[in-house]
Amino acid sequence: MKKLFLFIGCLALTSACQSATPTLQAESTPTATSTPPPTATVTQTFTPAPTLTSTPVPLFFTDDFNGDMGAWVSFQTGGTESPDVKLENDFLRIDFSTPDTWYYAIHNAHDYPAVFVSAKFSGTPTGSLGVICNYDESKGWFEFNVASDGTYTILFGQWLADGIAQYTPIANETSEYLKDGKLEYEIGLTCQENLLLPHINGKLFRKVDVTRFALTGGRVGVNASSFGETPMIATFDWFKVEEPAE
């Protein structure tokens, strides 16, 4: 729970996490109460600056981070300074200089009623990285993060007002597929109807029922964060959007 509480210190997440076992039985989500979070700062921080592209983006695709970033938009929550974000050697690199900072990049080309998103990444062992689905500015989003302390979180985020976000924890647990002190994985998340199916290194290890959030479609993206120690460096090798498996 250590890393989640650092996140709570920054973003005032709600309480009441759900226990987990590495089974494939659908699980219901807990009831959570909210506390007012601080202001989220909206930024555009890609370096070089994004340029719009005239080439349509396919519905399903792989972004190897070796070219145009015009379909992406970004924002930040927490932190006193914006991270330095750039494309470097076919990686999306995010350098955090201040603690308790969360950075989001949303791919704006398409909305998906059902989708499988995945990413391969690495980072210094002082933060977390994750993927996002069903992002809707008016309704909220889901994110699946893995942290350097060997835990994972599944969160529901929602804008309460312009620049103010609330986070409800759905799960915060350890996994046999994660190791303390390591932050180099391939993770994926299927978002389909009222289920979330998280994967670590190609292994589906859980089914989560999210019916109560009534969030069944939206955009996709990635996120990264620093915790109490900086600098923290996160790099994404690729980001993939696919049709969910039957």
The answer to whether the CB of 228 falls within 8 A of the CB of 144 is: no
Q: How would you classify the pairing of strands 26-27 and 207-209?
A: parallel
* E strand segments, the chain: 26-27, 40-41, 46-47, 61-63, 72-78, 84-88, 91-96, 101-112, 114-123, 127-136, 140-147, 151-161, 164-174, 184-192, 195-200, 203-204, 207-209, 218-226, 232-242
Choose among 224, 211, 227, 225: nearest CA to 156: 211
In the CATH hierarchy, which fold is given to the domain comprising 2-242? Jelly Rolls (2.60.120)
Q: Determine the average pLDDT of the residues in 91-103.
A: 95
Query: What sign does the dihedral 57-112-106-180 (CA atoms) show?
Result: negative
Question: Average pLDDT for residues 37-54, to the nearest whole number?
Answer: 37
Residue 2 main-chain phi, psi, to 5 deg: -55, -50
Query: What average pLDDT does the chain have?
Result: 81
Q: What is the pLDDT of residue 1?
A: 33
Classify the C-alpha dihedral 178-171-236-231 as positive or negative.
negative
The answer on pLDDT for 19 being more than 70 is no
CA dihedral 23, 28, 31, 36 (to 10 degrees): 70
Are 224 and 103 within 8 A, CB to CB? Answer: yes
Range among 18-32, 34-48, 146-160 rated most confident: 146-160
Q: Give me the pLDDT at residue 54, please.
A: 45
Predicted local distance difference test score (pLDDT) of residue 11: 35
Count of positions (residues) in the chain:
246
Average pLDDT over residues 171-191: 96
Contact (CB, 8 A) for 227 and 3: yes
Burial 20-51 (b: 16+ CB within 10 A, else e): beeeeeebebbebeeeebeebeeeebbeeebe
Residue 226 predicted with pLDDT over 50: yes
Quote the pLDDT of residue 18: 34
Q: Among candidates 94, 146, 87, 131, which has minimal Cα distance to 239? A: 131
* pLDDT cut 70: percent of the chain above it: 76
Transcribe 148-160 into DSSP letters. TTSEEEEEEEEEE
Domain boundaries defined on the chain: 2-242
Distance in angstroms (rounded) separating the CA atoms of residues 126 and 236: 16
Q: What is the mean pLDDT of residues 14-22?
A: 33
195 pLDDT exceeds 60? yes
Q: Is 198's pLDDT higher than 80?
A: yes
| pLDDT tens figures, 122-164 | 999 999 999 999 999 999 999 999 999 999 999 999 988 766 7
Q: Which of 8-22, 78-92, 160-174 has the highest average model confidence (pLDDT)? A: 78-92
